[in-house]
Amino acid sequence: MAKTRREVLAVLGGLVLAPQALAHHGGHGSPGGMASGADLVPPKPIPWDAGACGFCEMPIKTPEGQWRGRTFPKGFFEQTYSQIAFKEKRPAPHNPKETVEALHFESIACMVNYAWVHGLKDGEGTTFYVTDRGGYDPQNPQGSVRLVPARQATFYWGERLMVVMNARLLAFRDPDRARAFAEAHRAQHGRQNFFTFQTLLDLAPLPEANLVALLARHAGLLGGKGDHGHDHSH
């Protein structure tokens, strides 16, 4: 069930503490305990060339050259690509006259926050997918993306991890690879934690760049698309 304006306003009023939520939550690396009868919808093709994030509207593919005053490393956006695949087509977010079989996101947090606002539940006519960062090759960003059901993934949070929208989250199919990644980046990333997808859903809305404005717009509290191209990448 989609969030009402009153519910969204109540959350917006408490977001001053949001950046500390993930840092202090004792997450674990095991799957999130999704019910055995949950829908497992196959992932849909990824529209790399024209796709935009369903929450913040940034590209899901790393722009070549400068984009809004910044130049990003090759494959920077793709490493956190996420998707909500639908069992049956649904109206498109910004054009109800069109239908879509999936929604695409360039940040794990964008996917979780979209689902929170619009009342989407993993396994209920949907399947949430994330990119396995453990098998990701930044030199072959689109070709190396392997999607794993979010309910089966281990999520890594690093205090100084640099990803799109400042979401600080990566997903791994293999918990051992997540732990190895954390160990290799301990000094670089500062505080670290692991989470299941269920924990991320429980903590939603998740901290990320421009969160308050995005939540308000998706809840119908703000009109227009606005400018979401500020410094959202680290």
Tell whether the torsion through CA atoms of 144, 150, 152 and 154 is positive or negative: positive
In a domain, 26, yes or no: no
Task: Residue 132: give the domain boundaries.
Answer: 5-19+34-152+197-218
Those residues whose C-beta lies under 8 Å from the C-beta of residue 169, and which sit 6 or more positions away, are 22, 80, 107, 108, 109, 155, 156, 157, 161, 163, 200, 206
Q: In this predicted structure, what is the pLDDT of residue 210?
A: 92
Q: What pTM did the predictor assign?
A: 0.87
Rounded distance, CA 28 to CA 63, Å?
34
Q: Mean pLDDT check: name the lowest of 8-17, 31-40, 65-74, 165-174.
A: 8-17
Residue-level length of the chain? 234
In a domain, 190, yes or no: no
* Residue 91 pLDDT level (bands cut at 50, 70, 90): confident
pLDDT in tens, 39-85: 899 999 999 999 999 999 999 999 999 998 999 999 999 999 999 99
Q: In this predicted structure, what is the pLDDT of residue 230?
A: 44
In a domain, 143, yes or no: yes
Count of domains for the chain: 1
Q: In this predicted structure, what is the pLDDT of residue 96?
A: 78
In a domain, 74, yes or no: yes
In a domain, 169, yes or no: no
Q: In this predicted structure, what is the pLDDT of residue 229?
A: 42
Q: Is 143 within 8 Å of 127 (Cβ atoms)?
A: no
pLDDT in tens, 128-138: 999 999 999 99
In a domain, 165, yes or no: no
Q: In this predicted structure, what is the pLDDT of residue 40?
A: 95
Q: In this predicted structure, what is the pLDDT of residue 97?
A: 86
In a domain, 91, yes or no: yes
In a domain, 173, yes or no: no
